[in-house]
Chain A
Amino acid sequence: VNLTVNGVEREVDSPALQSLLHVLREELGITSPKAGCQQGGCGACTVLVDGEPRRSCLIPVGAVDGASITTVEGLGTPERLSPVQAAFHEHYGAQCGFCTPGFLLATHALIERSPGADRAAIEDALAGHACRCTGYVKILEAVEAAVGGAS
């Protein structure tokens, strides 16, 4: 199985049925996707597969042979945050940080898909992401700012 992860081609040795999450974290050492519930319910493992947000814990790596994967490591750098990362930073959208990678990637995909998303569309798009610190007010403010900045 071959993947392009954050623009770099990687050959994967894990079994085809291994989850993309496990491959990213344990084989490729990319640790921003988090192993939360590992059954699709929390959103912390979300990555972009060919630009679309997906639960990496639910995808067998053999099903995405040849795909392009984007994680937070591919969004920005500490010196040069992506606009979405900057909005989360500015609006205190991260607390403990465990859910943040999933929220960031889902927000990136939302802005690509619907640049003028209103509050209801934002809530619908992020409904699968749980913040156990319950920092939703700040997260939604950050997302609204990011959506506004992009439109």
Chain B
Amino acid sequence: VALRDVNVVVPTSAGEALAAFGDGEGVTVVAGGTIVLPELVAGRLRPERALLLGRAGLDRITRAKGRVTIGAATPVSALEDGDEPLATAARHVGDLEVRAQATVGGNLCAEASADAPRGDLQAALIVLGAEVRSAGGGGERTEPVEQFLSGDVRRRLVLDVSYEDVPRHAAYAASWRPHAHHYTILAVAAARQDGELRVAATGVAPRAVRLTAVERSGDPADALTGLEPRDDAVASAWYRTRVLPKLVARALEGVA
């Protein structure tokens, strides 16, 4: 299939986007394009249909009825001055230009590859107790982030993510990233709301994981319970195994 033969749709409303996405079969969603465009141009990805999401009106952040709702096509940069730990997580994504182009929905759906960890916002959204509203086969549904991430993400069109608009203690601890290094190797998000502690990590598995053992014990030594960190092009499993408990300790201090 030539690039020219892909059916490209540019929906101008959420309704048009839903109709064009259908059940997601053979469809690639291009929101910011930061992950999929190189795949398309290099010919590694050739869908039957591509949905350019930038003009579908899904790029707004609203605060209403006690919830913060972030449209799927909202740029990551729009989160940088917002609620923690999402704001700090957003500032750790890529660089200034990439953050302005990359979207919340794309980052939420991103899966780590052998080349790079991805999906920096996932851990922050998990500890915020965020819910994902998505459409696809079987219609629209709203579910917790962890449940959404454990499903077939490629067959869902994310509409928005939302979380309770309440005060909470939050922290985000990330491994130091040198200049010209595009990805955050490892990061831990924590939030304490009404006495309940939630902790999650990004960079240890293909998608962010909740550290339930740490939530129960409050002990950074439990960080690796049930986890087997992976090697990729930017860091080894050995490194991640040693750094993760330290980042958990820093994040826990931040919500103490």
**Chain A residues in the interface with B (C-beta under 8 A):** 15-19, 22, 38-43, 46, 52-55, 57-60, 62-63, 65, 106, 124-125, 127-130
Q: State whether the Cβ of B54 lies closer than 8 Å to any Cβ in chain A.
A: yes
Could you tell me if B41 and A43 are in contact, using CB atoms closer than 8 angstroms?
no
Given A17-B50, A53-B97, A128-B98: A60 touches B30 (CB 8 Å cut-off): yes
Interface size on B (CB < 8 Å)? 28
Q: Decide: A127 and B8 in contact? CB cutoff 8 A.
A: no
Interface: B222 (CB within 8 A): no
Chain B residues near A18: list those with CB within 8 A. 3, 41
- When the two chains form the complex, which single residue of A17, A40, A62, A65 contacts B98, counting CB atoms closer than 8 Å? A40
Q: Is the CB of A59 within 8 A of B52?
A: no
- Which among A46, A57, A58 has the greatest number of chain B C-beta atoms within 10 A? A58
Q: Is the CB of B40 within 8 A of A54?
A: no
Most A C-beta atoms less than 10 A away, residue of B42, B54, B98, B100: B98
Q: In the complex, what's the smallest C-beta–C-beta distance from B36 to chain A, in angstroms?
A: 9
CB within 8 A of A59: which of B6, B42, B101? B101
Sample of 7 more A-B contacts, CB < 8 Å, known A40-B182, A41-B180, A59-B37? A17-B37, A17-B50, A22-B41, A42-B180, A58-B38, A62-B8, A127-B96
With A17-B50, A40-B34, A58-B34 in contact, is A128–B96 under 8 Å at CB?
yes
Closest to A19 in B: B41
Bound together, the chains give a CA A124 to CA B92 distance in angstroms of 11
- Can you list 19 A-B contacts (CB < 8 A)? A15-B3, A15-B4, A38-B42, A40-B34, A41-B180, A41-B182, A42-B180, A43-B97, A57-B37, A59-B33, A60-B8, A60-B30, A60-B50, A62-B8, A62-B10, A63-B30, A127-B96, A127-B179, A130-B180
- Of the residues B2, B101, B182, contact of A54 by C-beta under 8 Å: B101
Q: Find chain A residues with CB under 8 A from B30 CB.
A: 17, 60, 63
Which chain B residues have a beta carbon within 8 Å of chain A's beta carbons?
2-4, 6, 8, 10, 30, 32-34, 37-38, 40-42, 50, 52, 54, 94-98, 100-101, 179-180, 182
Q: Inside 8 A of B179's CB, which chain A residues have their CB?
A: 127
- Whose C-beta in chain A lies nearest to the C-beta of B50? A17
Alpha-carbon distance between A38 and B33 when the two chains are bound, in angstroms? 12
What 8 pairs across the A-B complex have the smallest Cβ distances?
A128-B95, A15-B4, A16-B8, A39-B38, A130-B180, A41-B182, A127-B95, A15-B3
Contacts of B32 in A (CB 8 A): 58
Contacts of B4 in A (CB 8 A): 15
B33 / chain A contacts, CB cutoff of 8 Å: 58-60, 63
**Contact present for A19 and B37 (CB under 8 Å):** yes
B40 and A53 contact, CB distance less than 8 A? no
A60 in contact with B52 given A16-B8, A40-B98, A54-B100 (CB within 8 Å): yes
B34 smallest CB distance to A (angstroms)? 5
Q: Which residues of A contact B95 (CB under 8 A)?
A: 43, 127-129
B182 — which chain A residues lie within 8 A by C-beta? 40-41
Contact A60 B97 (CB under 8 A): no
Closest to A110 in B: B96
Given A58-B32, A60-B33, A60-B52, A38:B98 Cβ within 8 A: no
How distant is A19 from chain B, measured CB to nearest CB, in Å?
Answer: 5
Report the Cα distance A13→B40, complex, angstroms.
Answer: 18
Bound together, the chains give a CA A65 to CA B34 distance in angstroms of 18
